[in-house]
Amino acid sequence: MLHYKTMKMKYQKSYKIMVVIAAASVMQSCFVAKNYERPQVKTEALYRTDAAATEGASLAGVSWKTLFTDPILQGYIEKGLQNNYDIRIAMQSIVAAEANLKQGKMGYLPTLSVGANLTHQQLAKNSQFGSFFNGSLDQYQLAGNLSWEADIWGKIRSNKRAVNASYLQTIAANQAVKTQLLASIASTYYQLLSLDAQLKVAEETLLNRDNSVTTIKALKDAGNVNEVAVKQTEAQKYATELIIADLKNNIVIIENTLSILLGQSPGKIERGTLAAQAMNVDVNLGVPADLLSKRPDVMAAEYNLITNFEMTNVARSNFYPSFTVTASGGFQSLELKEWFSTNSLFANIVAGLTQPIFNQRQIRTKYEVAKANQEKAYLQFEQSLLTAGKEVSDALSQYKNETGKLVIREKQVDALKKAANYSDELLNHGFVNYLEVLTAKNSALSSELDLIDNKYRQFNAIIMLYKALGGGTQ
């Protein structure tokens, strides 16, 4: 009979605990944290262009392997994406974010710990307990402790969402690093090709300068020009040699830069020629709203906003009472030989609500800080979108400018090369002076070098436009 009453009392206690837990679950369904909704950002006028934005595949949707057809460059991009140190560092950030994500998913589960300990007390022999235990007391304990908090106000759920958004932000940030690396490798490679082309022009010009020195000396011997003309022509030759020296130095520097981007020691870089390059692509911008899903930095900024939004939910929930259940149980004995006896078993369960009343304003301060961080994240999100629109506009303007200049520059080079050739013939017949010849030849060399630079800038503008639109993720 006594055993029956004891079992009934235990059942009633368990029933009460279950009722409290069920009530907490019902409260959770009534009081939930706010759900995130994307703010109404304006994307209509992000691009400063006369052309209307059109639906359809934009340049951002083109695979980088389709955009960059040079097989050598394709190999470098693949190598850079594997070996670049910025990429490898970013990957470790993802590993850390994955660890936090796994922890965030465990928020609904209880915590459980197990411990064993020996407690020795030396008591006064004249005290009440000291006389009974002969002056000393040993107690052996093996216990487990369990704690669980009900997610009444959605705090655990919001924290889980925040961790998930933080993980996605890390993924987007990693993609932004990849996009930047891809653009940097391509831009540096084309810059190297343009330097090679300029060096070739300069070296060919140097041969002509050598011939010019020989010709001007023969004219001086014939009495057609003086020694000043000879020295001026020699000086023009030396100036060309200086241009060649600077170009060779720049080539070494750019080779070293590309080597570092590829994650390797500085060294010689194999490459093609500028003349063999072509990027015949349809420069379609698509709609500005595409930047929200194409630009990894914009995506990262929005995930940061989501993280701070959810952390505001967490901070808000701290104003309300928390429901927790704690339990402990195990073996406890004064004698080692009776430690694991059934009479040594003990257990206790505590369930209750805790309402914060006064805690030196810590909860309100955390909430106000969370709100400020959320507003800051929102402003950063808007700023990232505006910056993306500016980069698209800048790259598009640069592309149009360099493309238009190419037509004019080619005509300029043709005219100046003909003028330089005519000036040599006219000098031989005494119709022009040597200064006119020097001017014509210097102008011809400068225009050829500028034409090559113009072609590089056009390629680079396409690369920058591709990156600005969010290309490179395919």
Q: Is 114 helix (H, G, I), strand (E, B) or coil?
A: strand
Rounded CA gap, 306 and 308, in Å? 5
Q: Sheet of 111-122: strands edge to edge?
A: 111-122, 136-149, 322-333, 345-354
pLDDT score for 4:
43
Which residues, 6 or more positions from 184, have their beta carbon under 8 angstroms from its beta carbon?
A: 261
Whole-prediction pTM: 0.82
Alpha-helical runs (H) found in 111-154: 128-132
| Digit-coded pLDDT (tens) for 383-438 | 999 999 999 999 999 999 999 999 999 999 888 888 777 676 666 666 566 667 77
Alpha-helical runs (H) found in 31-70: 64-67
Question: In this structure, what is the dihedral angle of CA atoms 293, 474, 179, 99, given to the nearest 10 degrees?
Answer: 80
Instruction: State the residue for tokens 């969402």.
Output: 161
Q: Is 104 helix (H, G, I), strand (E, B) or coil?
A: helix
Question: In this structure, what is the dihedral angle of CA atoms 446, 450, 452, 454, given to the nearest 10 degrees?
Answer: -170
Query: Hey, what domains does the chain have and what are their CATH numbers?
Result: 34-108+153-319+366-468 (1.20.1600.10), 117-150 (no CATH)
| Digit-coded pLDDT (tens) for 444-471 | 888 999 999 999 999 999 999 999 988 8
Stretches where the chain sits below pLDDT 50 are 1-8, 20, 24-30, 52
Q: Are 163 and 103 in contact (CB under 8 A)?
A: yes
pLDDT score for 5:
47
Which helix (H) or strand (E) segment holds residue 261: the answer is helix 227-261
Long-range contacts of 338-346 (CB under 8 A, 24+ apart): 339/140, 339/142, 346/143
